[in-house]
Amino acid sequence: MELNIKEGVLKAWLEKFLSGGLDFAASVILAFVVYFVGVRIWRMLRRLALRGMEHRQVDKGVCQFVDGILKVIGYVVIGAVILNLFGVQTSSVAAGVASLGLTAGLALQGALANFAGGVLILLLKPFRVGDYIIEDTHRNEGTVSSISIFYTRLRTIENKIVVIPNGVLANSSLTNVTTADQRMINQTFSIGYEDDIKKAKEILLNLGKSVPELKQGTEVKVFVRELAASSVDLGLQLWVPMEDYWTVLWRLNEDVKQAFDAEGITIPYQQIDIHTKE
């Protein structure tokens, strides 16, 4: 009789185990289906939302930011549905998340600051996607390629991607050089004290006026910027279209060097004199 009782207990345990195992396996399969189908459906809804915003000519940075938020919301909703499949009550999960909110807030101060910075950037619009900006704190500069939830990406003239936290951009000064359609070239060229200042200024003025990209109606300025310790620093200022700034600047540097060499005007450079005792 004792053997019959043990067999009955074992049989009941096996039936319960098999039943629970089948239920768990079914939940796992259903969870995979919910995940893949849910991700695809949510991705389609995000695309529809993006098309709607683009149709209304919403700023590209706002579109990217909203898309990032929708992506996070989608994963949270899908995750809650999957947890519910395994018998986890979403209300209890929400209560647990709420109880950990203060701790998470302290641990994620940087992330929250970056999120808030992204919101401020989109509301105040100090720059937009496509603008060329200079971040003054760390001297990062480039064309804004995207504004996401936590970070802004810049593409430099070397085609590198610089990722800057939104909190840094929102709490530091920056220069937006594309708010106008033109940009000033403000370059310094040094000559020796023994060189002819008038001649050097004439060379710079002629080179500045001969720039093909020079904005019409603007003045080319040449002046003595500083009497430095070992050189006379001349300033050259002229206005060119924003998209031609770097091309003109690099070409102008080369033209000035060649013109100074041709006219015998020296460009001072650091030298080290070594004296030896005989």
In this structure, which topology does domain 112-176 adopt according to CATH?
Answer: SH3 type barrels. (2.30.30)
Residue 52 in this model has a pLDDT that exceeds 90 = no
Q: What is the mean pLDDT of residues 52-62?
A: 71
What is the pLDDT confidence band of residue 108, given thresholds at 50, 70 and 90?
low
Domain ranges (residues) in the chain = 9-99, 112-176, 182-262
Query: pLDDT higher for 273 or 187?
Result: 187
Distance CA 47, CA 67 (A): 9
Single-letter amino acid code for the residue at 41: I
Give the model confidence (pLDDT) of 226-248 as tens digits. 999 899 999 999 999 988 999 99
**What average pLDDT does this structure show over 149-173?**
90
CA angle 79, 82, 86 (to 5 degrees): 135
Q: Which amino acid is at 147?
A: I
Q: Does domain 9-99 have CATH number 1.10.287?
A: yes
Residue-averaged pLDDT of the chain: 81
Q: How far apart are CA 131 and CA 17, in angstroms?
A: 63
Q: pLDDT tens digits, residue range 111-132?
A: 778 878 888 888 888 888 889 9
Mean local confidence (pLDDT), 190-202: 96
CB 265 within 8 A of CB 191: yes
Residue 121, number of CB atoms within 10 A of its CB: 21
Identify which of 108, 140, 249 has the alpha carbon closest to the alpha carbon of residue 187. Answer: 249
Match domain 182-262 to its CATH number in 3.40.50.720, 3.30.70.100, 1.10.10.10, 3.30.160.150.
Answer: 3.30.70.100
The sheet with strand 174-176 has its strands ordered as 161-165, 151-155, 140-147, 132-135, 174-176
